């Protein structure tokens, strides 16, 4: 068991791209930690630098009390699942999952028991005797995840571990992954560009942009109080309303706005989008378009004039120049 300490870490590629730029992060022992951000923000590079697959240009990585910055990947006690999962093609699923245990000389019966249990949790129970070539992409991904989990390293690093799964399997695998991580209390860092996945899974999220961390916090913190307009735009299934007023930008989530006799915004209903048990209503308010969420069967008619308001604690102000939250 070990936390991860990242101190002044930069990873610069030979072409000069600073993919990771002077980062300081402490990932706690046993934590499920998400690296979240748009394509190209440096998530994968940071994960690979923790694993030792990329060399750090500056700074240090420690796992528990050991500084590992100059250690080979195999000496870092990390297990990693990549986007291109690299299973051994000549081994069955069961053999692939049990492989890390076999290498360590763990008893055959324990190997088998671990493979069956881990595979079961990831809906691979019926596929234990297949080879990777006989699996779908999503099944291969789950087999790779099972192998990493079975490796019982000190730290588990996952690069988009659920990206190849269809929506339903993704939800199932997500729940399993969270449950398993809780049971194993294994320090786990996962990369995702899916904000909903990060919110649902992680204990804490680092929202990244251009090699830096814009905000580090619990899902609730980053959802309720995004540190800047970049994070405000990135987090949330429906985009946050960001409305310039005077020298600030007012930010309020559609989920926190409700119709009221008087309030923040008044406009004409122009669009209603079905989100399942709720609908997203768009109001035309002159220059601005304001979204708010209503329960099913409460949708207003197109063309109606509606005023919406939010509790004061849910109305945020951002500096117009810097985009930073005004506290
Ligand atoms: P994605 O979600 O698309 O995988 P990411 O956030 O994981 O993106 P990285 O793959 O870490 O981003 O890339 C960060 C930056 O480093 C990008 O600008 C990318 O073009 C650049 N980069 C990545 N790998 C290399 C490489 N081998 N050589 C040079 N530049 C690279």
Q: Tell me: the pLDDT tens digits for 152-164? A: 678 999 998 787 7
By CB atoms closer than 10 A (0-12, 13-18, 19+), residue 130 is middle
One domain, residues 19 and 84: yes
One domain, residues 18 and 97: yes
- Specify the number of domains making up the chain: 2
Query: Residue 324: inside a domain, yes or no?
Result: no
One domain, residues 118 and 200: yes
- Looking only at the bridges linking them, the beta strands covering 58-63 and 32-36 are unpaired
Query: Residue 212: inside a domain, yes or no?
Result: yes
Query: Residue 229: inside a domain, yes or no?
Result: no
One domain, residues 179 and 249: no
Beta partners for residue 90, in sequence order? none
Report yes or no: 193 and 201 within 8 Å, Cβ to Cβ.
no
| Minimal-distance CA residue to ligand 1 atom 31 | 13
Query: Residue 235: inside a domain, yes or no?
Result: no
How far apart are the CA of 38 and the centre of ligand 1, in A?
11
Q: Which atom of ligand 1 is nearest to the CA of 15?
A: 29
| Minimal-distance CA residue to ligand 1 atom 19 | 40
- Whether 43 lines ligand 1, by a CB cut-off of 6 Å, is yes
How far apart are the CA of 152 and the centre of ligand 1, in A?
28
Q: Tell me: the pLDDT tens digits for 93-145? A: 999 999 988 988 889 999 999 899 889 877 899 999 999 999 987 788 888 88
One domain, residues 196 and 118: yes
Question: Of 224, 255, 270, which marks where a domain is finished?
Answer: 224
Question: Of 224, 255, 281, which marks where a domain is finished?
Answer: 224
Q: Which atom of ligand 1 is nearest to the CA of 193?
A: 2
- Whether 13 lines ligand 1, by a CB cut-off of 6 Å, is yes
Question: Of 171, 189, 224, which marks where a domain is finished?
Answer: 224
One domain, residues 118 and 199: yes
Q: Looking at residue 83, what is its pLDDT?
A: 66
Query: Residue 157: inside a domain, yes or no?
Result: yes
One domain, residues 56 and 149: yes
Q: Looking at residue 84, what is its pLDDT?
A: 66
One domain, residues 105 and 212: yes
Whether the per-residue pLDDT at 321 is higher than 80: the answer is: yes
How far apart are the CA of 293 and the centre of ligand 1, in A?
36
Q: Which atom of ligand 1 is nearest to the CA of 83?
A: 4
Query: Residue 110: inside a domain, yes or no?
Result: yes
**Phi, psi of 126, deg, nearest 5:** -85, -5
Report yes or no: 49 and 61 within 8 Å, Cβ to Cβ.
yes
- Whether 142 lines ligand 1, by a CB cut-off of 6 Å, is no
Query: Residue 233: inside a domain, yes or no?
Result: no
Q: Tell me: the pLDDT tens digits for 230-282? A: 999 999 988 899 999 999 999 999 999 999 999 999 999 999 999 999 999 99
Q: Looking at residue 182, what is its pLDDT?
A: 86
One domain, residues 26 and 84: yes
CATH number of the domain that residue 294 is part of: 2.40.50.140
- Whether 42 lines ligand 1, by a CB cut-off of 6 Å, is yes
Report yes or no: 188 and 155 within 8 Å, Cβ to Cβ.
yes
Whether the per-residue pLDDT at 319 is higher than 90: the answer is: yes
The pTM (predicted TM-score) of the whole model is 0.88
Whether the per-residue pLDDT at 85 is higher than 90: the answer is: no
One domain, residues 49 and 186: yes
One domain, residues 219 and 247: no
- Whether 77 lines ligand 1, by a CB cut-off of 6 Å, is no
Beta partners for residue 67, in sequence order? 62
Nearest of 309, 314, 207 to residue 258 by alpha carbon: 309
| Minimal-distance CA residue to ligand 1 atom 28 | 13
How far apart are the CA of 45 and the centre of ligand 1, in A?
6
Place of tokens 């050991």: 66
3-state secondary structure of 21: strand
Q: Looking at residue 16, what is its pLDDT?
A: 95
Q: Tell me: the pLDDT tens digits for 169-221? A: 788 778 878 887 888 788 999 999 999 999 999 999 999 999 999 999 999 99
CATH number of the domain that residue 154 is part of: 3.40.50.300
Is the C-alpha dihedral spanning 120, 121, 123, 127 positive or negative? Answer: negative
- Whether 41 lines ligand 1, by a CB cut-off of 6 Å, is yes
pLDDT-derived band at 1 (thresholds 50, 70, 90) equals low
- The parent domain of residue 196 ranges over 4-224
How far apart are the CA of 32 and the centre of ligand 1, in A?
23
3-state secondary structure of 138: helix
Percent above pLDDT 90 for the chain: 73
- Whether 262 lines ligand 1, by a CB cut-off of 6 Å, is no
Q: Looking at residue 103, what is its pLDDT?
A: 86
Q: Which atom of ligand 1 is nearest to the CA of 45?
A: 11
Identify the DSSP state of 42. S
Q: Looking at residue 142, what is its pLDDT?
A: 83
Query: Residue 272: inside a domain, yes or no?
Result: yes
One domain, residues 280 and 179: no
Report yes or no: 228 and 325 within 8 Å, Cβ to Cβ.
yes
């Amino acid at each position: 068991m070990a936390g991860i300490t990242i101190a002044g870490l930069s990873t610069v590629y030979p072409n000069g791209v600073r993919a990771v730029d002077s980062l300081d992060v402490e990932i706690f022992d046993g934590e499920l930690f998400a690296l979240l951000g748009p394509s190209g923000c440096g998530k994968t590079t940071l994960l690979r630098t923790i694993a030792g697959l990329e060399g750090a240009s500056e700074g240090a990585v420690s796992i528990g009390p050991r500084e590992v910055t100059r250690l080979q990947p195999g000496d870092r006690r990390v297990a990693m699942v990549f986007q291109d999962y690299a299973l051994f093609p000549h081994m069955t699923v069961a053999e692939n999952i049990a492989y890390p245990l076999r290498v360590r000389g763990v008893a055959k019966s324990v190997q088998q028991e671990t493979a069956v249990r881990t595979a079961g949790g990831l809906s691979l129970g019926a596929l234990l005797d297949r080879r990777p070539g006989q699996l779908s992409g999503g099944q291969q991904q789950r087999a790779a995840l099972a192998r990493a989990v079975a490796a019982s390293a000190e730290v588990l690093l996952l690069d988009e571990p659920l990206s190849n799964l269809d929506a339903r399997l993704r939800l199932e695998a997500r729940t399993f992954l969270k449950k398993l991580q809780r049971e194993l209390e294994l320090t786990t860092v996962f990369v995702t560009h899916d904000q909903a996945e990060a919110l649902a899974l992680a204990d804490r999220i680092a929202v990244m942009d251009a090699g830096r961390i814009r905000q580090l916090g619990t899902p609730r913190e980053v959802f309720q109080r995004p540190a800047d307009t970049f994070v405000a735009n990135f987090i949330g299934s429906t985009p946050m309303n960001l409305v310039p007023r005077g020298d600030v930008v007012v930010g309020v989530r559609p989920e926190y706005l409700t119709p009221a006799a008087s309030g923040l915004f008044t406009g004409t209903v122009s669009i209603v989008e079905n989100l399942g048990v709720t609908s997203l209503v768009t109001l035309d308010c002159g220059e601005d378009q304001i979204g708010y969420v209503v329960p099913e069967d409460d949708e207003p008619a197109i063309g109606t004039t509606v005023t919406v308001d939010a509790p004061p604690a849910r109305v945020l102000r951002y500096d117009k120049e810097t985009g930073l939250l005004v506290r």
